[in-house]
Structure 1
């Protein structure tokens, strides 16, 4: 665990930075004003979800911050990994054409990438 010596204050900084990174990554996929508002709200919705889940499970201290940071980092990494696919879909949407449906292979690849990224981030954090 590379972050075992981080203080609570440092985890707050990591959580804020990772939330901003997700907001920026999500903004890059927004095509309308409504989408941009949703993109900005994603880190806030994630924070509320993790706070409520942590309270329900009795997690205290740095644990909610670690969970939030890990979640945001995983989503940002996946946005980067799938940038070509997302860019192609956004180009279709902006041109007025319908976006392509994901194939079974694409879905499997996304799921495997999600699991691998989640395990990697959990291991590193």
Structure 2
């Protein structure tokens, strides 16, 4: 049985996926798991031939900071390593530019405030 935290996370990821799909992105993979870490959502921006690695964060209460502010350098490094793993395993995206986005959801998940940050960080 899923924990409450996992259920909330799944709901936040589903809402982020719906939001990004409405913005024209296409789902490639969800919950890509490696020994380096997980990528919540991998999407394709076909108009610009960009492969987008998306980290989804949720905060019900922003008293201790926004949802997007919780992505520290350690988390970024894990996402970048996982993205490198994906790219090594999936040659069909060799000619694509890669981008790292963050989608922050805040407040009640029934009516969340969604903050999509394109190019939230870069691979060094």
Task: Kindly indicate which of the two structures has a greater share of residues assigned to helix.
Answer: 1
Could you say which structure has the greater relative contact order, defined with CA pairs below 8 angstroms and 6 or more residues apart? 1
Larger-gyration structure (1/2): 1
Q: Normalising by structure 1, report the TM-score.
A: 0.31
